[in-house]
Amino acid sequence: MTDIVLALDLGTGGCKASLWDRDGRMLGEEFEPYPTTHPRSGWNEQAPSDWKDAVITCTRRLLEDRAEVVVNGIALSGHSLGIVLLDGTGEPIEPATPIWSDTRAVAEADLVFAELDERSWYLRTGNGFTPALYPLAKARWFARHRPAVWQATRMILGCKDWINYWLTGRLATDHSYASGSGLYELGLGDYADDFLQAAGVLRSQLPEPMASHDLVGNLSAEAAATLGLTVGTPVFAGAVDNASMALGSCGVAEGRCYASLGSSSWMTVTSATPVLDVDTRPYVFAHAIPGYYASALSTFSTGTSMTWVRDVAGGGRDFPSLLDEAMSLSVEADIPICVPTLGGGTPLEGGPRVRGVFAGLDLSHGVAHLARACMEGIAFSLERSFTALAQLVAIEGELLISGGGARHGGWNQLYADIIGQPLVRTSVDQQAAALGAATIAWVGLGAWSYPDAERPHHVQESYRPDPRSALGYQHRRSRFRALQTVLAKTGGTFDMAGSAS
Amino acid sequence: MLIAHDLGTTGNKASLHTDSGELLAAVTVRYPANFAEGGIAEQNPEDWWNAVVEATRKLLEKTGADPVSVAGLVVSGQMMGAVLLDSDYAPVRPAIIWADTRSTAQVDSLLKHFSQLQALDILGHQLNSTYSLSKIMWVRDHEPDAWARVRHFGLAKDFIVHRLTGRLHTDPSDASSTNAFDIKAGTWSEPIIEASGLPRSIFPEVVDSTQVVGTLTSSAAAALGLPASTRVVMGGGDGPIAAVGSGVVAPEDPPYVCMGTSTWISFATAEPAAADPRIFTFSHVVPGLYVPTATMQAGGGAVQWASEVLGAPVPDLVAQAQNVRAADEGLFFLPYLMGERSPYFNPDAAGTFAGLSRHHTTGHLMRAVMEGVALNLLICLDAFRESGFETETIDAIGGGAASDLWLQMMADAWGVTMRRRSVVEEGNSLGAAVVGAAGLGLTDFSAARTLSHVTATFEPDAARTALYREAVGIFREAYDRLEPWFANRKPTR
């Protein structure tokens, strides 16, 4: 018999269930997608029943033919900023709920900040995304636009807490998830009364936050039967995905930093105090590890920009060959400059209205130059995030990279040269959130302490900055920054609306 | 019948024409160019001569034309270069051609004597390293041994006409591409030449483009296989010659846009255009007239480049560009892939896509490239309009004029009727033939108007014109904001 824990990772695209043994080996995983619907512009909704169905489907699939395993405990990682509204019976009042990326509450955010000072709210909450995304603003949206729903609301839960409720019958949350509500003050470790008042939320409508490894409860008979698990299996509070990923990405000590490189990318540092900056707006969550914080800066339009270059100019090339061609150009080659914010930028990148630019093109440039410029532009954007974080907190050791954007050796070396930091890619890669959840479960069971989350990481590749190349990139980095500045001065774009302002 | 030669950058085209200029046959003989680091662009004048000889012989062979029936020869040539000759009229070094930009220090020294506006007023052009004068000064400053042997200077076609006739002259159109010619006076500019420190004696006599310079020398006649009695007409620079090829021989003729690799708008006037740094003026090959001109470095060249980068043939991309919007959606392309001449005269300017969004497709990018050329030329056209020039019609020639979409875009952007003329690559040959035929007394310049005809007409859509008017403001603003960035784009070595 093998003792394992079940990690459930509710991502934006679907649920991933995975099994982890006591030595940190992942024994298997299953993924089940669920849809996001867009009933109106800016609305992004998911159905809580789809989450539950996905949890059931992939857990059952995962446990098939695995009579040898004993599930010792369960913990979830879940996508952030959730606002599932439950009535007095504990059922979601509406079949679909806005997810983190839903921007419907822009006007309500303005209402909230007519009452609260936005800057001080940011500094107390660490909530560095657009404020409209946070449940604080969305609660006001429901009160204004769905008064009957809001009247009936007895409890507000996040996605993984709603699954925990179904698993155990207990309404709970953890500090990391609560810290993405817009209502939670990092310094207090609790919801703040003035935030609750501005959002129109009662303290009684929110579950009390506990530690991620605290026991929420034991698996109910119904859930156990549905999932094919043993009644009474301990379920721990788990964490918001940002925090579980930080934990699963060696974020177990102060100054540890990792970069997740995908369609969009981010860089997260673990620290004992929140990393806050009004200008660059790092977004901060309470960490899964008590007393720590996970502070991050995003870069939009990273992988999506490379996909775009391949689609419009790739002439049918696949990614590896396009990236190979791009990397066959030397550092000294005349490479144009790309600002890759094709889908808008973060505050650091000039805001949501900014658009993409390729500048410095001449007749000698071909598709390889465009691709290389885009790769460099993405790296310069990440370097900017890294530098901004490093100015606020001491970064320790190598930068862990993971995700689909970290699979090309040449590009990884380019990241190292431009960011100026040694990089490693490990065996955990995109399992970080699952590893974080599994760690929480093993810690809850008393078998691990948090630093054990590092054990499953085996270095696969490491990249040291080459000083000569780094020097070669210096000029283009300054041109990249200068181009971003030109863009910022135009309001982010050269379009007709932009010129009017 | 007569034979026209067109000395281009990639080769010489010899063409056989009727007495009224109609094209009967053509033969091209290619030659190399040496492009090297430091802005160097050179060709060997002997290669030009050999190409003239070979092309003439092949043309006669191909057509079976009786050499005795060839009334004369005329030469059109690439402009702005410098062929330096010794006392025996032999080249002392390779010719420095139009594309060469090494002589910036020499331009700077001239700018100590004249402001660009003063120069523009005298020369019709700003002082720039792409013109002959600073190139000659560079040889003086850097190659004293070669310089010691220099006795004469000429343009490409002047060297060939000398080889044909034994007489070295130039004509006003080519002279106006040297940065040393007083365009209003129609003579070499004494103050400019004095400021350059070059000896006045190396500058050849300027004669009309239509002047019969002489007949073939016996050795030229033997080489070409033509009678020694064959007359040779001076000819001119290929820019003004192309205007003739497009039927632009009098101020009342509509302007034309030549949509080749580089792309320009030009028209005939009785006076040089007012000194405006966005445009320049050549003397015409039609005696007494001028051709104000605005030239983009990469017009058709930008479209060709886009086709290579986007990995699809031009017609496919143009089809994709047909049904999408670029400027309307905030997507712009600054088409400065080789720096730019008109309207900025900024060699540091570079190509730029701005306003890119994830939903933009290959077709959007192609449309932005085509619009970028139209918008850049709109700025140039505005400069002409500000100097009092008005037109309701513009004729288009060259390879790029084959695109309905592009001509409609230009009609809309410029608010004029665009007409496609049946001239693709033969504009220089036709123009040269008319200059030759006029010089030989076979016909007059009005023959140029009937050598090609209008094959399609594109009317402007007023709503689109208003939209492009708004777009050109943003397009300009994008350049203005990026100009300092362009200046610091490349690392200083």
Is A300 within 8 Å of chain B by CB? Answer: no
Alpha carbons B74 and B436: distance in angstroms, whole number: 5
Contact A494 B330 (CB under 8 A): yes
The whole-angstrom distance between A252's CA and the closest CA on chain B is 37
Check whether the bond before B343 is cis (ω within 30° of 0): yes
Is A221 within 8 Å of chain B by CB? Answer: no
Is A170 within 8 Å of chain B by CB? Answer: no
Contact B355 A482 (CB under 8 A): no
> Over the stretch A266-324, which tens digit does the pLDDT of each residue have?
999 999 999 999 988 999 999 999 999 999 999 887 888 999 999 999 989 999 999 99
Is A107 within 8 Å of chain B by CB? Answer: no
**Which residues of chain B does A358 touch, with a Cβ-Cβ cutoff of 8 Å?**
351-353, 356
For position A354, what pLDDT does the model report?
86
How far CA B340 is from CA of A411, B332, B436, in Å, comes to 34, 16, 33
- Candidates A311, A342, A354, A361: best to mutate against B (most CBs of B within 10 A) is A361
For position A501, what pLDDT does the model report?
31
Q: At what angle do helices B132-142 and B104-111 cross, to 10 degrees?
A: 110
Q: Which two tokens stand for residue B460?
A: 């402007």
**Which residues of chain B does A363 touch, with a Cβ-Cβ cutoff of 8 Å?**
298, 301, 305, 337-338
Contact A336 B350 (CB under 8 A): yes
Tokens 């010719």 sit on residue: B95
Contact A496 B474 (CB under 8 A): yes
**Which residues of chain B does A343 touch, with a Cβ-Cβ cutoff of 8 Å?**
357-358
Contact B488 A479 (CB under 8 A): yes
- Best CA proximity match to B435, nearest among B76, B190, B90: B76
- β pairing state of B34-36 and B83-85: unpaired
Q: What is the DSSP string of B225-281?
A: TS-TT-EEEEEEEHHHHHHHHTT--STTSPPEEEESSSEEEE--BSSPPP--TT-EE
Contact A363 B310 (CB under 8 A): no
What angle (nearest 5°) sits at the alpha carbon of residue B237, between those of residues B436 and B220?
Answer: 55
Report the 10 Å Cβ neighbour count for A146. 15
Long-range pairs, B456-459, Cβ under 8 A, ≥24: B456/B404, B456/B407, B456/B419, B456/B420, B457/B417, B457/B418, B457/B419, B457/B420, B458/B404, B458/B407, B458/B408, B458/B410, B458/B411, B458/B417, B458/B418, B458/B419, B458/B420, B459/B411, B459/B417
Which of A312, A355, A495 is nearest residue B365 as measured by Cβ atoms?
Answer: A312
Contact B352 A356 (CB under 8 A): no
The whole-angstrom distance between B37's CA and the closest CA on chain A is 14
Query: What three-state secondary structure class fits A501?
Result: coil
Q: Which two tokens stand for residue B477?
A: 């603003």
Contact B365 A366 (CB under 8 A): no
* CA torsion through residues B128, B131, B137, B139, sign: positive
Contact B481 A343 (CB under 8 A): no
- β pairing state of B95-96 and B2-7: unpaired
For position B103, what pLDDT does the model report?
96
* DSSP run (H or E) holding A72: strand A69-78
Tokens 């160019």 sit on residue: B33
For position A351, what pLDDT does the model report?
79
Contact A357 B354 (CB under 8 A): yes
**Which residues of chain A does B362 touch, with a Cβ-Cβ cutoff of 8 Å?**
312-313
Which of B350, B353, B474 is nearest residue A362 as measured by Cβ atoms?
Answer: B350
Confirm whether the ipTM is greater than 0.85.
yes
Is B478 within 8 Å of chain A by CB? Answer: yes
Is A57 within 8 Å of chain B by CB? Answer: no
The whole-angstrom distance between A366's CA and the closest CA on chain B is 5
Contact B350 A360 (CB under 8 A): yes
Contact B354 A304 (CB under 8 A): no
Residues (pLDDT < 50) of chain B are none
The whole-angstrom distance between A141's CA and the closest CA on chain B is 29
Which of B358, B485, B490 is nearest residue A486 as measured by Cβ atoms?
Answer: B485
For position A263, what pLDDT does the model report?
85
Q: Are B429 and B26 in contact (CB under 8 A)?
A: yes
B354 → chain A, closest CA residue: A357
Q: Are A84 and A162 in contact (CB under 8 A)?
A: yes
Query: What three-state secondary structure class fits A355?
Result: coil
Alpha carbons A498 and A487: distance in angstroms, whole number: 11
Which of A366, A479, A493 is nearest residue B309 as measured by Cβ atoms?
Answer: A366
Cβ pairs bridging A and B (under 8 Å) = 125
For position A382, what pLDDT does the model report?
94
Report the 10 Å Cβ neighbour count for A239. 36
Contact A362 B489 (CB under 8 A): no
Looking at the DSSP bridge assignments, the partners of residue A173 are A209
- β pairing state of B280-283 and B290-296: antiparallel
Which of A311, A363, A482 is nearest residue B337 as measured by Cβ atoms?
Answer: A363
Q: What is the average pLDDT score of chain B?
A: 96
The whole-angstrom distance between B317's CA and the closest CA on chain A is 11
A contact residues 313-372, partner B, Cβ 8 Å cutoff:
313-316, 334, 336-337, 342-343, 355-363, 365-367, 370
**Which residues of chain B does A370 touch, with a Cβ-Cβ cutoff of 8 Å?**
309
Q: Are A303 and A405 in contact (CB under 8 A)?
A: yes
- Read off φ and ψ for residue A152, nearest 5 degrees: -80, -10
Alpha carbons A84 and A105: distance in angstroms, whole number: 15
Residue-by-residue pLDDT tens, chain A, 501 positions? 899 999 999 999 999 999 999 999 999 999 999 999 999 988 999 999 999 999 999 999 999 989 899 999 999 999 999 999 999 998 999 999 999 999 999 999 999 999 999 999 999 999 999 999 999 999 999 999 999 999 999 999 999 999 999 999 999 999 999 999 999 999 999 999 999 999 999 999 999 999 999 999 999 999 999 999 999 999 999 999 999 999 999 999 999 999 999 888 999 999 999 999 998 899 999 999 999 999 999 988 788 899 999 999 998 999 999 999 999 999 999 999 999 999 888 877 877 788 899 999 999 999 999 999 999 999 999 999 999 999 999 999 999 999 989 999 999 999 999 999 999 999 999 999 999 999 999 999 999 999 999 999 999 999 999 999 998 999 999 999 999 988 877 655 565 444 333
Query: What three-state secondary structure class fits A406?
Result: helix
Is B332 within 8 Å of chain A by CB? Answer: yes
The whole-angstrom distance between A36's CA and the closest CA on chain B is 20
For position A347, what pLDDT does the model report?
78
Is B481 within 8 Å of chain A by CB? Answer: yes
Is B493 within 8 Å of chain A by CB? Answer: no
What are the helix (H) ranges across A95-220? 106-115, 118-125, 135-145, 147-152, 159-168, 175-178, 193-199
The whole-angstrom distance between B405's CA and the closest CA on chain A is 21
Q: At what angle do helices A159-168 and A48-63 cross, to 10 degrees?
A: 60
**Which residues of chain B does A497 touch, with a Cβ-Cβ cutoff of 8 Å?**
330
Alpha carbons B321 and B371: distance in angstroms, whole number: 10
- Candidates A485, A494, A496, A499: best to mutate against B (most CBs of B within 10 A) is A494
How far CA A334 is from CA of A165, A362, A365, A420, A473, in Å, comes to 58, 9, 8, 21, 11
A481 → chain B, closest CA residue: B485
> Over the stretch A100-134, which tens digit does the pLDDT of each residue have?
999 999 999 999 999 999 999 999 999 999 999 99
Query: What three-state secondary structure class fits A413?
Result: helix
Residues 6+ away with beta carbon under 8 Å from B456: B404, B407, B419, B420
The C-alpha R_g of chain A, in whole angstroms, comes to 23
Contact A486 B471 (CB under 8 A): no
Contact A365 B309 (CB under 8 A): yes
Is B37 within 8 Å of chain A by CB? Answer: no
The whole-angstrom distance between A359's CA and the closest CA on chain B is 4
pTM: 0.89
Q: What is the DSSP string of A220-287?
A: -HHHHHHHT--TT-EEE--EEHHHHHHHHTT--STT-EEEEESSSEEEEEEESS----TTT--EEEE-
Query: What three-state secondary structure class fits A69?
Result: strand
Which of A342, A361, A497 is nearest residue B350 as measured by Cβ atoms?
Answer: A361
